[in-house]
Every structure is written in structure tokens, then in C-alpha cells.
Amino acid sequence: MKNKLKRFLRPADLIAAAAVLAAAGLLALLGGTDGATAEIIVGRQTVETVDLTAVREPYTIALDNGVTVAVEPGAISFCASGCPNQLCVRAGKLTKAGESAACLPNETLIRVTGRARNAPDALTG
Amino acid sequence: MKSNRLFRAAALLCAALTLCGALTGCAATYEERTAFAMGSVLTARLYAPKEDADLLFDRITEKVNAADACLSATDPSSEISAVNAKGSANASAFTRKTLGDMVMLCNMLNGTLDVTVGAVTQLWGFSTDHPRLPSEEELRAAQETVGLERLLIDDVNGTIVLGPGQKIDPGAFGKGVALDEARDALQSKAYSAVVSFGGSVLLFGTPKKGKSWTVGVRDPFSGPNDYFASLSLTPDKPDYTGFVATSGSYEKQFTEDGVVYHHILSPLTGYPVETDLVSVTVYATSGINSDALSTACFINGLNGETLRWLNSFGAEAVFVYQNKEYYVTDGLKDAFTLTDDSFTLKTYEE
């Protein structure tokens, strides 16, 4: 039995297995969603989806409700809104998976889709 | 020989895939839905097939909007707004029952919260675009209307009757009530879910067998997507439901003559409560309790009475101070992980 196992698992196999384990570990560490896509939601409707990795030059998206969203390589933000407190504009740029900002008076949400590795399921505060 | 090699390669591939799966957590699939309700963002992550997720989210939003149509103090067409406008009006059984629950909580929390504080909160206007510092005379007159003993919930005639000039403000309870309604919607289907509603969170079931939910506690000194700690929570029997709510002075505030005024008002003075706290997060078994307790704990501060309240409700809390100290109640210590070491643990002895 021992001999059979020896014949089946040679030293080279063990080295290969170690390499595979290392690669798997690396994948696990580097894995997770990288925040490549952003969504613009008005009410309950996703009105725009942007691949942030494909953006080469900054541009803006003017929504029908008067809100303007700025898009640049790897980031999305509110750049103008008719709302009084401008909290949405002050929220700044979203770059990481799971980040979001809302303009409540205009019922508009921007978010980077997916979840960063080890990100919590929800935020309170 | 060749088949041996093939077999070895296959075995290694299987091992690698299994390991990748184990290490990456093999996250269960979920559907995410977003809507706007009660002036806040309502987001649900539903561990359910797409069709059921759509159905469940429709039910959740219907329930939340129905609660708002009854209880909103800012929507002029709500039942509470009608009561506030007329001083006396018919109200549905839901509104009367929920208002009764709020009154009971106010009494249990020794008057630290008062649902009849509406005339005072209207003066400050924190829920409007133009909050302002009221004059002392205005505040004194509004304070005179506050008092639970002048509020009558008449179940025989189906009405709510207020004292002279009195107004109801369910603000310290509203999101919690909405999440209780969302929980009722979820109970119709036994899928796990996380529902976030303007900073309050409902945890329903578990993400995966043997796993916990993680809830980030917002860093009060940073942006809305930043957290300084996380809570690892597993809702327990009987209904596997947990609620997390936070009251923070950073939520709504304005500056006048160099003084910052925040929105958490003391029912005793009518002014923003003076405290060295910046936020309190509460984990409880009902939405209304977590919401009310987070505000009451913020107003009352960390002391023996506050800890007894939490204990009597089976709730736990995280207190965060302006000097970046934090305190975690005993039952939450194992669930708490600090992720920003610029915060330090506060020592507290009763």
C-alpha cells in the first residue's frame, strides 16, 4: 500500500502540489471584487452602468433630474445637484467596491458595485 | 503510466479548486436591491433567487412606505401629520399601536426620549433644508407642550388626541419601526437577508451556515463609507433576527455664530444634548428598540442607568467619544474588532 502511494506520489508531485497551494493562497489573498463597475440608480431604476476601468478621459453624465455625475478613470462622484445641502457633492469620489453616495432629495444613488475583500455586510452610522 | 499522470494532474487540479473555494469563502450568491423611502436609502441584500428577491423587495418597500404613510411627521398626508395639524384625528390601528409602543419605550427610558417633542423639533427644523437656532422664548413655549401625560391614544374611538399645541415626532423610532416591518416581510420567505436603511441595519438569518454577519461601525470623524470597527453578529433564536442602529451627532448639524448645533435634542431642555459622545451604536432584537436605545443612550451617556436599560432590553452597545475613545458593553466584546488603531478603548467602572 505504502509502495503504491510512493509510486503514485513522487517528490515532483509534492513540489507541484506546494506550488498549487501557494498559487491558491495568493489568489485568495488577491481575490475579491475590485470595484471595476459603477452604477447610477434613480429611484429603483439603474439608469447607467459604467466600467470604470475602461474610462480613459474624464466626462460627466447629466441626468434628467438635474443631477450631474462625474466619471474619471477608476472613480465616480456627484459633481452638481440642485439640492440645498450638497451632501452628495461633498461625499467626494468613490473608488472602492461597495462605496456609495446618495442625493436624497433627487433620489439618486451612485455606487461602486461588488464587495471589497473583508468588507462588512453592512454599515451602521 | 500516461493515465497515472493524467490522474495525478486531475487530482492536483481538484485540490487546487477546493482550496481556492475554501480560502475565498465561496460566497453565497445574493441579489441586491435599492430604493428610496422615508427620505433615506433602503438597500437589501437578499440571499434568494432573482424572482423571489424581486417579490421580497417589493413587499419590503410596500411595508416601509405603508409605515411612513402612517407615521411620518414631515409628509403632510400622513396620519401623524393629520393629528399634528388638527390636534385630534382618526388613526389606523397600526398607528395607534406603534405610537403606544413608542410611549411605552419613552416611559421605560425614564423620559430621556419623548415622542411629544414635535413642537420643539419643528422649531429647530433639522429635517428641513433650513435648520436654525430658535429663540429662548420660542423654545420655552414649545417645551411647555411636551409631556406624555397629555397624549391620549383612544382605541375605543380610533383616535389620537394631543394636548394644546402638542405635536408628535416619531423621529427617534421611525427607521426602527420600518425595519421591524421589513422583518415581517422577510418572514414570509425564509431567505437570509441584510437590509440597510439610512444607517440602521436588519440582519435576518445568517449568510452561510456557521458564519456571522459583519457590520461596520461608521468612523464619526471620516466619510460615510469609512468604519473604525466591525461587529461580527449571529442573530439567535427564536426568530434569528438582529437590528443595529446608530445615533451620531455628525448626522445632521449646522453652525451658527461659530457654534455647532446637532440634531439630537434633550426633551428636558429642548437644546442639543451636551455630551462628549459622538455616536452610540446599539444591537437589539427589535428595530424600534435598537433605534430608540441608540438615541436614549446618546442623550443619557454611559452610566449605570444606561447600562441597566441595555441589560433590561437584552441589548448591547458601542459608545464612541470625541477624543476617539470607545467603550463596548460586555456582551459585544467578542463580536467587536477594531479596524482603526487610532481609536483607543475607554475604561469605565460604575
Contact A51, A74 (CB under 8 A): no
The DSSP secondary structure of A46-97, one letter per residue, reads: EEEEEEGGG--S-EEEE-TTS-EEEEETTEEEEEE---SS-HHHHT--B-ST
Residue B88 and residue B90: Cα distance in Å, rounded?
7
Q: Which residues pair with B139 in a beta bridge?
A: none
Tell me: pLDDT of B350 over 80. no
pLDDT tens digits, residue range A65-110? 999 999 999 999 999 999 988 989 999 999 999 899 999 999 999 9
Q: Do B12 and A92 touch (CB under 8 A)?
A: no
Q: Measured between CB atoms, which of A31, A102, A125 is closest to B41?
A: A102
**What phi and psi, each to the nearest 5 degrees, are found at residue B108?**
-65, -30
Q: Is B6 on the interface with A (CB under 8 A)?
A: no
Please give the class, per CATH, of domain B212-345: alpha beta
Query: Which residues of B fall within a CB distance of 8 Å from A95?
Result: none
Contact yes or no for B207 and A121 at CB 8 A: yes
**Confidence tier at A34 by pLDDT (50, 70, 90):** low
Tell me the domain boundaries of chain B.
Answer: 77-170, 212-345
**What is the reported pLDDT for B188?**
78
Report, as an integer, the average pLDDT of A27-33.
46
Query: Could you read off the pLDDT of B289-337 as tens digits, one per residue?
Result: 999 999 999 999 999 999 999 999 999 999 999 999 999 999 999 999 9
Instruction: Inspect the interface and report whether the beta carbons of A20 and B194 lie closer than 8 Å.
Output: no
Is the CB of B332 inside 8 Å of chain A's CB atoms? no
**Could you tell me if B196 lies within 8 Å of chain A, comparing CB atoms?**
yes
Say yes or no: do domains B77-170 and B212-345 share a fold: no
**Set of chain B residues whose Cβ sits within 8 Å of the Cβ of A121:** 45, 194, 203, 207, 213-215
Residue A125: pLDDT band with limits 50, 70, 90:
very high
Q: A123 at the B interface (CB within 8 A)?
A: yes
CA distance B247 to chain A (A): 7
ipTM of the assembly?
0.87
Q: In the structure grid, which three cell numbers stand for residue A36, read together? A: 471595476
Q: How far is CA B175 from CA A5, B30, B65, B120, B182, in A?
A: 63, 24, 11, 20, 10
Fold topology of B77-170? T-fold (1.10.3980)
Q: Which pLDDT belongs to residue B239?
A: 83
Residue B343 exposed, middle or buried by CB count within 10 Å (0-12, 13-18, 19+): buried
- C-alpha grid cell for residue B186? 422577510
Mutation pick from A45, A65, A110, A123 vs chain B, by most beta carbons of B within 10 Å, is A123
pLDDT for A26 beyond 70: no
Q: In this predicted model, which residue has the larger pLDDT, B57 or B7?
A: B57
Distance from CA of B90 to the nearest CA of A (A): 30
Q: Band of the pLDDT at A27, cuts 50, 70, 90?
A: very low
Residues B35-53, mean pLDDT to the nearest whole number? 95
